[in-house]
Amino acid sequence: MREPSLLPVFGKLGLKAPVALVATPVSSAGVVSRLRELLAAHGGMVLKLSVIAWTVLILGAVFFMMQG
C-alpha cells in the first residue's frame, strides 16, 4: 500500500523553501545585493517586525482618532 506524500509544512517543523536570488544589473549591485542578502538571511524576522510595526501604527491611529 502506497503512503500519501507529506504536505509541505513551513516554520519550525518543516523545511524552508530555498531562496532564489535574481541577478541584478551592475549599476545597482551595491545596495540592492546587500538588501537581498539581508532579506534572504533574515526574511522571517523582517516579516514579523513589519507586521508588528503595522499593527502598532493602526492602533496608534485609532487611539488618536478616539481622543479627538
**For 23, left (φ over 0), alpha (ψ -120 to 50), or beta?**
beta
What is residue 43's three-state secondary structure?
A: helix
Q: How many CB atoms are closer than 10 A to CB 33? A: 13
Q: What pLDDT shows up at residue 43?
A: 84
| The model's pTM | 0.44
Give me the tens of pLDDT residue by residue for the chain, a chain 68 residues long: 677 666 555 555 555 556 666 664 555 678 888 888 888 888 889 899 999 999 999 999 999 999 97
Q: How far is CA 36 from CA 5, 9, 22, 66, 67, in A?
A: 33, 24, 9, 40, 41
**pLDDT value at position 4?**
62
Note the pLDDT of residue 38. 84
Tally: H helices and E strands in the chain: 1, 0
